[in-house]
């Protein structure tokens, strides 16, 4: 049996706002679903990102009585490459998007990054390679 990675499913509490974020801020093309649904997926190359209503998933798994995610360090960071981090930062800042950190060079990583969060607080990194 072979395993192929196809999706990252993000469980969200504010589905409509997260849908608009991934479509309008990150510019991902919806492949299925709308902001009025409880599931949608977005095209991202070989593997896609999907959003799913957190309450619906917890009902399916029977975990609704468990506590929600407490304040803690991040467990996952979604990474996207862009042509130019600074251009993305300027365009989205002009639209009122709030960033966690401004564009920053990480020579030891070989990339320039910018970080922000989706409406549910999930950490997002956009990066481009630094010249070598």
* Joined tokens for residue 2: 């072979």
pLDDT at 88 over 80: yes
| Helix %, strand %, coil % of the chain (to 5) | 20, 35, 40
pLDDT at 19 over 90: yes
pLDDT of residue 4: 84
**Measured distance CA(30)–CA(67) in Å, rounded:** 31
CATH number of 1-65: 3.10.180.10
Among residues 72, 78, 25, 69, the alpha carbon closest in space to that of 50 is found at 78
Q: Which H or E run contains 11?
A: strand 7-12
> Above pLDDT 90, what percent of the chain?
72
How many alpha carbons lie under 13 Å from residue 113 in its C-beta half-sphere? 17
Domain boundaries, the chain: 1-65, 74-132
Residue whose entry in the numeric block shows the structure tokens 């990480």: 106
Query: Domain 74-132 is in which class?
Result: alpha beta
**96-111, pLDDT tens digit by residue?**
999 999 999 999 999 9
pLDDT at 128 over 90: yes
Walk across the sheet containing 7-12 and list its strands.
Answer: 7-12, 48-53, 39-43, 29-32
C-beta of residue 49 within 8 angstroms of C-beta of residue 6: no
Check for a shared fold between 1-65 and 74-132.
yes
* Joined tokens for residue 21: 């974020």
pLDDT at 3 over 80: no
């Amino acid at each position: 049996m072979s395993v192929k990675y196809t999706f990252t499913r993000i469980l969200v509490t504010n589905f409509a706002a997260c849908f608009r974020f991934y479509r309008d801020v990150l510019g991902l093309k919806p492949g299925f679903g709308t902001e009025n649904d409880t599931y949608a997926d977005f095209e991202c190359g070989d593997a896609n990102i999907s959003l799913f209503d957190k309450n619906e998933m917890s009902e399916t798994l029977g975990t609704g009585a468990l506590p929600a995610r407490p304040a803690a360090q991040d467990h996952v960071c979604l990474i996207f490459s862009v042509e130019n981090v600074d251009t993305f930062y300027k365009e989205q800042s002009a639209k009122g998007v709030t960033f966690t950190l401004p564009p920053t060079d990480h020579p030891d990583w070989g990339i320039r990054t910018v970080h922000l969060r989706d409406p549910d607080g999930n950490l997002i990194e956009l990066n481009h390679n630094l010249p070598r």
